[in-house]
Amino acid sequence: MKRFNVAVLPGDGIGPEIVGEAIKVLNLIGTKFNAEFKLTEALVGGVSIDANGVPLTEEVLKLALGADAVLLGAVGGPKWEGLDYSIRPERALLALRKELGLFANVRPAKIYNDLIDASTLKPEVIEGVDLVVIRELTGGLYFGTPKGVELLADGTERGVNTMVYTTPEIERIARVGFEVARKRRKKLCSVDKANVLETTELWRKVVIRVANDYPDVELSHMYVDNCAMQLVRNPKQFDVIVTENTFGDILSDEASMLTGSIGMLPSASLGATKNRAMYEPIHGSAPDIAGKGIANPIATILSVAMMLKYSFDMEDASNVIENAVEKVLNKGIRTADIAKPGEKKASCAEMGAAVLKEIQG
Ligand code: NAD
């Protein structure tokens, strides 16, 4: 029997509601696939500030470092917005990413035919879209030095940020790109601005070199401005996109909005080894609907599916969850965020139960 330790950090707002449903799915998968998931729950974000004065305690960090994977709900909310940036709930995420060495953010954007109306784009443009954006998370423009704003002698100011990447940093994110593409349709598009930025010229050179180890994956290159345009013009052309931190921040938000349903989209942040990984929905803590029992748990349930695929090598189990979600949507079951006017709305618990029922078969 396979055994895995999972650190479960529900966080704030709708976090506990959606994570509660995702955990039920994980437990059922354990029974069906002869695996044991030891789940250890802990506070993170605003609820941890309330209980311990800090968004992430040493103890919880230790739990995350010792786990085989971390499942996170969401953090933040109006209650903690007035606090100093250094102890805001969001600091917990940054600290977890840093300490776990999570350098690759993997975000799928998939259109479900039953939800095609949720997108702002025409159905014929987005029908069948199923892509993944992989964003480098710890380098590039957001972290390079020198950075800052300085006062010049003439009284004006000068702001500086620096885009920096080393060969090993590019190589490891490129490998994540090729590996993910290998588990999908085997097409990788590396996005850069190699015609203008020397850093991304190096990016392209290294990606081409890494490609030698993946002859089964078709590699292409695209400039970031063109990619932003192509994502709206013809998103079906993409399978896996791999790109720099800032470019990825923008492109992954753009890609997720193709689907129009934020409550449906999971994500994974991956590090150097399979047990360095954090899985979470892309949305926040949705304080406007917290406690009402109406949040959509699908993004978190699909985050569990990603955990099974990327951390536990349980691809079959992952597919079972994805298929169950598809069937539930097929049957017309909708939480409020994806229901059309006049349609019956399922609660968070009802949506979770519907997915469980499909998995049970
Ligand atoms: P949000 O994603 O929480 O909510 C945006 C809108 O989408 C809201 O109307 C919300 O009700 C809806 N929504 C989000 N998830 C949903 C779900 N599962 N089901 C149904 N509807 C859903 O973004 P926001 O309102 O900008 O931020 C709220 C708080 O969350 C802030 O404190 C922010 O800092 C935090 N946040 C946290 C994360 C994270 O933990 N990774 C990410 C983004 C925002």
Query: Residue 118 — very low, low, confident or very high, per pLDDT cuts 50/70/90?
Result: confident
Most ligand 1 atoms within 8 A of CB, residue of 262, 303, 325 to mutate: 262
Q: Are residues 170 and 230 in the same domain?
A: yes
Q: State pLDDT tens for residues 148-201.
A: 999 999 999 999 999 999 999 999 999 999 999 998 999 999 999 999 999 999
Atom 12 (ligand 1): residue with closest C-alpha? Answer: 286
**How many C-beta atoms surround the C-beta of residue 241 within 10 A?**
29
249 catalytic per annotation = yes
Which ligand 1 atom lies nearest to the CA of residue 287? Answer: 28
- What is the model's pLDDT at position 84? 87
Query: Residue 259 — very low, low, confident or very high, per pLDDT cuts 50/70/90?
Result: confident
Q: Are residues 98 and 146 in the same domain?
A: no
Write the secondary structure of the chain as one string of H (helix), E (strand) and C (coil): CEEEEEEEEEECCCHHHHHHHHHHHHHHHHHHCCEEEEEEECCCCHHHHHHHCCCCCHHHHHHHHHCCEEEEEECCCHHHCCCCHHHCCHHHHHHHHHHHCCCEEEEEEECCHHHHHHCCCCHHHHCCCEEEEEEECCCHHHCEEEEEEEECCCCCEEEEEECCCCHHHHHHHHHHHHHHHHCCCCEEEEEECCCCCHHHHHHHHHHHHHHCCCCCCEEEEEEHHHHHHHHHHCHHHCCEEEECHHHHHHHHHHHHHHHCCHHHCEEEEECCCCCCEEEEECCCCCCCCCCCCCCCCHHHHHHHHHHHHHCCCCHHHHHHHHHHHHHHHHCCCCEHHHCCCCCCCECHHHHHHHHHHHHHC
**Taking 90 as the threshold, does the pLDDT of residue 64 lie above it?**
yes
Q: Domain range spanning residue 56? A: 1-108+264-361
Cα separations in angstroms, 324 against 10, 292, 294, 321, 347: 23, 25, 20, 5, 17
Distance 262 CA to ligand 1 centre (A): 9
Q: Are residues 229 and 328 in the same domain?
A: no
Q: Is residue 113 in a domain?
A: no
Most ligand 1 atoms within 8 A of CB, residue of 48, 137, 283, 350 to mutate: 283
* Domain final position from 259, 280, 301: 259
- Residue that the structure tokens 């599916």 belong to: 305
193 catalytic per annotation = yes
Query: Residue 320 — very low, low, confident or very high, per pLDDT cuts 50/70/90?
Result: very high
- What is the model's pLDDT at position 86? 81
Query: Residue 261 — very low, low, confident or very high, per pLDDT cuts 50/70/90?
Result: confident
282-310 mean pLDDT? 97
- The structure tokens listed for 89 are 């709930």
Most ligand 1 atoms within 8 A of CB, residue of 285, 296, 345 to mutate: 285
Count of structural domains within the chain: 2
Q: Which of 50, 213, 225, 288 is catalytic?
A: 225
- What is the model's pLDDT at position 310? 93
225 catalytic per annotation = yes
- The structure tokens listed for 5 are 């330790």
Residue type, 261: S
Query: Torsion angle, CA of 113/114/119/123, rounded to 10 degrees?
Result: 50
Backbone angles phi, psi at 69, to 5 degrees: -170, 160
* Domain final position from 240, 259, 278: 259
Distance 267 CA to ligand 1 centre (A): 14
CATH code for position 192: 3.40.718.10
Q: Are residues 255 and 126 in the same domain?
A: yes
Q: Are residues 90 and 195 in the same domain?
A: no
When the pLDDT of each residue in the chain is averaged and rounded to a whole number, the result is 96
102-128 mean pLDDT? 93
Atom 25 (ligand 1): residue with closest C-alpha? Answer: 286
- What is the model's pLDDT at position 136? 97
* Domain final position from 259, 291, 310: 259
Q: Which of 38, 62, 205, 253 is catalytic?
A: 253
Give the pTM: 0.93
Q: Are residues 248 and 289 in the same domain?
A: no
**Taking 90 as the threshold, does the pLDDT of residue 269 lie above it?**
yes
Contact 88, 55 (CB under 8 A): yes
What residues does ligand 1 touch, defined as CB less than 6 Å away? 14, 18, 74-77, 90, 93, 262-263, 280, 283-289, 295-296, 299, 337
Determine the Cα–Cα distance for residues 26 and 37; give it in Å rounded to an integer: 8
**Taking 90 as the threshold, does the pLDDT of residue 260 lie above it?**
no
Q: Is residue 115 in a domain?
A: no
Residue in 272, 274, 285, 234 with CA at minimum distance from that of residue 255 = 234
Q: Are residues 253 and 288 in the same domain?
A: no
Atom 40 (ligand 1): residue with closest C-alpha? Answer: 74
- What is the model's pLDDT at position 62? 98
Q: Are residues 229 and 139 in the same domain?
A: yes
With b for 16 or more beta-carbon neighbours within 10 A and e for fewer, the 149-161 pattern comes to eeeeeeeeeeeeb
Q: Which of 249, 279, 309, 337 is catalytic?
A: 249
Q: Are residues 53 and 161 in the same domain?
A: no
Q: Are residues 246 and 342 in the same domain?
A: no
Q: Is residue 114 in a domain?
A: no
Q: State pLDDT tens for residues 18-53.
A: 999 999 999 999 999 999 999 999 999 999 999 999
Q: Is residue 358 in a domain?
A: yes
